[in-house]
Chains A and B, each alone.
Chain A
Amino acid sequence: MALFTRAPKAEPILGQNRVIAHVLALLTWLIGLLFFFPLFWLVLNGFKDELDANSSPKLFFDPTLDRFSEVTEDTTGLLSFTEAFGNSFWIVLISTILVMALAIPAAYALAIRPMRKWRDVLFFFISTKFLPIVGAIMPLWIIARDLDLLNTRAVLIILYTAMNLPLAVWMLRSFFAEVPNELIEAAQIDGCSLMGQIRQVILPIVAPGLAATALLCVIFAWNEYFLAVQLNPVEGSTMPVWVASQESGRGNFLAKLSAASVLATLPVVIAGWVAQKRMIRGLAMGAIK
């Protein structure tokens, strides 16, 4: 069987020659494997015992699940796996819901019933993304401290919402802009209330876009470390802080650290795999149109 079949749509940029095609396919595979190799290695190390991990690189060994049970059951540190996972879960979930709840109406207004200065508003949202978080971290820390919010989930929920909101508004606006105006007018004439229009007509159309946007928010929130470690260094903190805490002062626990890393990374990676096609479409639509 030929390794390559003709692309049905656009012709590939690099031409049609069969030999070249095979070589390129091989090359793409190699690069793909190379990019993935560090992660493969991480997973591998997670299944090693410390002796195997802390020696020169080894491909063959007796796999064991012990490291995974060790890290999940370990409660000696300030932050246990279950606590961190629970914190991350709730913080990411609630902040993403909040982002969507705030961004959907805003994007709707900017796209479907644009007011005259909508572009300025959109630019404002994007521009807040350009304000490096260091520009606000000190006052945030002081405010959080004074409000007794340090080491709480609440402070991260609020900040992650603010962190993801601009991107979400921006992407969602473009998804909403794809909805033909006629459709909304037809719904109005058919006697649909505003909520009805949104629920029954608009949301089914923009659903893939919403999913892509929410996923991107989840990825950024789940992986965020700077704010978490600055504002929530101890009990209230999240998976990245937990992973980092596994490292400090435990140089010889490479396998254990690998297992911890795998656990921390897995949820988002799987979600990303499942939704990759949508994300590509979402970025294309969301970004350019």
Chain B
Amino acid sequence: MAEVRYEAASRIYPGTEIPAVNALDLDIADGELLVLVGPSGSGKSTALRMLAGLETVNKGSIFINDVDVTLKPPQDRDIAMVFQNYALYPSMTVAENMGFALKQAGVSKEQRRAQVVEAARILDLEPYLDRKPKNLSGGQRQRVAMGRAIVRSPQVFLMDEPLSNLDAKLRVQTRTELADLQARLGVTMVYVTHDQVEAMTMGHRVAVLKDGLLQQVDTPRELYRRPANLFVAGFIGSPAMNLITVPVVDGAAQLGGLSVPLPDDVRAEVARRGLDEIIFGARPEHLALADVGASGEVAVVEELGSEAYIHVRVVHGQETEDVVVRVGGETAVKRGDQVSFGIAGATHFFDPGGDRLDGE
């Protein structure tokens, strides 16, 4: 078991100027499941591959258990990796695939067999041990890839979007199994996904990346409650947070007919910096229909059964903005109706540069 530490680690691909991963600082505790999340091209895979030893770390260092592994080749790092396309050796059977790393390490045949069978038992793969990968279903292949990692009992598990090739239902099921497995084995795991739902449901902590820069790393709950900047606020949560540029008048943000008083620390900060415009954020579930407040015409009603999302077209200065409001249960509101809404929960305020105003 192991802890992992990135220290200002950067990767600059040859022939490019901008680092794909830029001075990444990250501490991962022993037994933790850390999820790396971010949009496509944000450097998640690169960060993971740097830890695996598949990409050169151009600047900074990476430690596993306080041992500097920056210059070590993959085979000397005692890590296991599950790839997006599983990377099963097509010419080997499931058992051979799972035992391959042990064979390289010179483990005896009986010992190997025992460990493979044990891992296969955990993953329900026993009936398939003598099959070739091409004769397995997608879900089974995914489990073989897992098994190949488990068999070695490595210090760290690395997973690069291991569920993205499964269908939606299987993905949800496997996601739970995977988190459960990680907890049972108590192994440190770094998990890459671009799906924020997957990140929030699985991760002990979630690290959000954008353009190679770490935006925030925190527990799912804290990410949801206190997104550090505009990007995280928009990225985490589904449906996304409403983010609207609003004028500040007399210490209150003005949205349509609604005047939202700023909390004291935000107000102080706004006053100190002399801002007359800020970005106001509120999640759909933290807004509610009300008799007074901001008002507008209903543009769309998304009925999900247990809840509904109402898109209200608010006239706001010169422009119109769509604000999404959640209502529980069935709703009588229809497209074209005139409605008002008010604040019913947490609000967030960001400066025009995107940083949180009530920050540390």
Contact = CB atoms under 8 A, between A and B. Distances in A.
Indicate whether A and B are direct neighbours in the complex (CB within 8 Å). Answer: yes
Residue from A182, A187, A190 whose CB has the most chain B CB atoms within 10 Å? A190
A189 B87 CA distance: 12
Interface in A163-213: 180, 182-183, 185-192, 196, 200-201, 204-205
B108 to A, nearest CB: 16
B83 A186 contact: yes
Nearest to B100: A190
B104 A189 contact: no
A121 to B, nearest CB: 17
A181 to B, nearest CB: 9
Contacts of B87: 180, 182-183, 185-186
A9 interface: no
B146 to A, nearest CB: 13
Given A116-B15, A196-B104, A189 B89 contact: no
A128 to B, nearest CB: 28
B295 to A, nearest CB: 54
Interface in B76-102: 79-81, 83-85, 87, 89-91, 100-101
A232 to B, nearest CB: 42
B52 interface: yes
Nearest to B15: A116
Contact of B101 (A183, A191, A205): A191
A180 B53 CA distance: 18
Interface size class of B (residues with CB under 8 A): 20 to 34
Contacts of A192: 75, 100, 104
Contacts of A188: 53-54, 73-75
Interface string B10-45: 000011000000000000000000000000000000
Contacts of B53: 188-189
B287 to A, nearest CB: 45
B304 interface: no
A191 B15 contact: no
Interface in B30-75: 52-54, 73-75
Contacts of A185: 52, 54, 74, 81, 83, 87
Contact of A180 (B54, B75, B85): B85
26 contacts: A116-B15, A180-B87, A182-B84, A183-B87, A185-B52, A185-B74, A185-B81, A186-B83, A186-B87, A186-B89, A187-B100, A188-B54, A188-B74, A189-B53, A189-B74, A189-B75, A189-B79, A189-B81, A189-B101, A190-B100, A190-B101, A190-B104, A190-B152, A201-B89, A204-B89, A204-B90
Given A188-B74, A192-B100, A192-B104, 4 more contacts: A182-B84, A183-B89, A189-B81, A196-B104
Interface of B: 14-15, 52-54, 73-75, 79-81, 83-85, 87, 89-91, 100-101, 104-105, 148, 152
